[in-house]
């Protein structure tokens, strides 16, 4: 399996589960709460709770643990770089390096599970709902939400195009120098990305997807009251434990 297909962020799994029935607005709220809680944890042992909760949610969402691990694997190089950076710079605190690295992995893991269990268009409408107050300043939340939706969906597509170009270069057995090979890669890559962008634009026009489709939140997002209550109680208990331990 190549890196592009391993990348879980921005890919809706399509599996129906108890977790997928939770309101996307509540999922985003939970993600923000968990992200904030990760900043309060200052020891490696403290990440056992959010990591355990992530594994539990992954199983409830009927996602394979292997899929979650594969989804996190592509950012390992970034995690290693972060670890080495914090280890090398004064005061050379290994504990801080470990904590920052674990925060990055868990944050990415949570975001990946949320996007894997929620349609991107539903996340976009949820974002539009949260940004409704911006209308006071003359901004259109639907435009921002549409941009968010395209960014999330386009991220794995960019990886696919990059891998396609790299594979093509390997198959051709190019003996060009590194500088020339890089120039060819960048040129072909951007051409493919622009072509993919045009196709996406045509698809959106044919399906009538625009900023206005983000406005009708209540009619297009369905959720289960029981699932929402479960998530609310779960986050409440999580916050209580984190508060007792770190606040």
Report CA dihedral (124, 126, 132, 133) to the nearest 10 degrees.
Answer: -110
Q: Is 122 helix (H, G, I), strand (E, B) or coil?
A: helix
Residue 217 pLDDT more than 60? no
Report the domain count for the chain. Answer: 2
Determine the pLDDT at residue 55.
92
- 138 and 79 in a common domain: no
- 234 and 184 in a common domain: no
User: How sure is the predictor about 52, in pLDDT bands with cuts at 50, 70 and 90?
Assistant: very high
User: How sure is the predictor about 142, in pLDDT bands with cuts at 50, 70 and 90?
Assistant: confident
- 74 and 48 in a common domain: yes
- 103 and 77 in a common domain: yes
What number is the average pLDDT over the span 121-126? 81
Stretch (H or E) spanning 60: helix 48-60
Q: How far is CA 89 from the centre of its chain?
A: 29
- 130 and 110 in a common domain: no
- CA separation for the pair 87, 103 (Å, rounded): 16
Determine the pLDDT at residue 206.
66
Q: Which domain holds residue 182?
A: 121-215
Pick the range with the lowest mean pLDDT from 62-66, 93-97, 216-220, 232-236: 216-220
What's the 3-state SS for 131-166?
CHHHHHHCCCHHHHHHHHHHHHHHHHHHHHHHHHHH
Determine the pLDDT at residue 218.
45
Residue 190 pLDDT more than 90? no
- CA separation for the pair 214, 117 (Å, rounded): 19
Helix axes 24-40, 94-116, angle to 10 degrees: 180
């Amino acid at each position: 399996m190549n890196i592009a297909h391993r990348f879980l962020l921005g890919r809706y799994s399509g599996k129906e589960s108890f977790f997928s029935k939770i309101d996307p607005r509540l999922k985003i709220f939970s993600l923000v709460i968990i992200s904030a809680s990760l900043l309060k944890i200052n020891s490696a042992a403290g990440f056992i709770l959010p990591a355990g909760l992530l594994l539990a949610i992954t199983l409830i969402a009927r996602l394979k643990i292997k899929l979650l691990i594969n989804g996190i694997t592509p950012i390992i190089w970034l995690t290693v770089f972060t670890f080495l950076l914090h280890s090398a710079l004064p005061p050379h605190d290994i504990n801080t390096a470990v904590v920052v690295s674990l925060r990055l992995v868990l944050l990415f893991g949570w975001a990946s599970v949320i996007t894997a269990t929620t349609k991107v268009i539903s996340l976009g409408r949820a974002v539009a709902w949260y940004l409704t107050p911006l209308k006071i300043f003359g901004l259109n939340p639907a435009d921002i939400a549409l941009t968010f939706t395209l960014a999330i969906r386009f991220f794995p597509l960019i990886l696919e195009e990059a891998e396609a170009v790299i594979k093509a270069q390997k198959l051709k057995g190019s003996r060009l120098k590194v500088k020339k090979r890089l120039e060819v890669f960048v040129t072909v890559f951007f051409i493919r990305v622009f072509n993919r962008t045009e196709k996406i634009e045509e698809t959106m026009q044919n399906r009538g997807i625009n900023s206005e489709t983000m406005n009708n939140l209540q009619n297009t997002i369905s959720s289960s009251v029981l699932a929402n209550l479960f998530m609310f109680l779960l986050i409440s208990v999580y916050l209580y434990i984190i508060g007792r331990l770190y606040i």
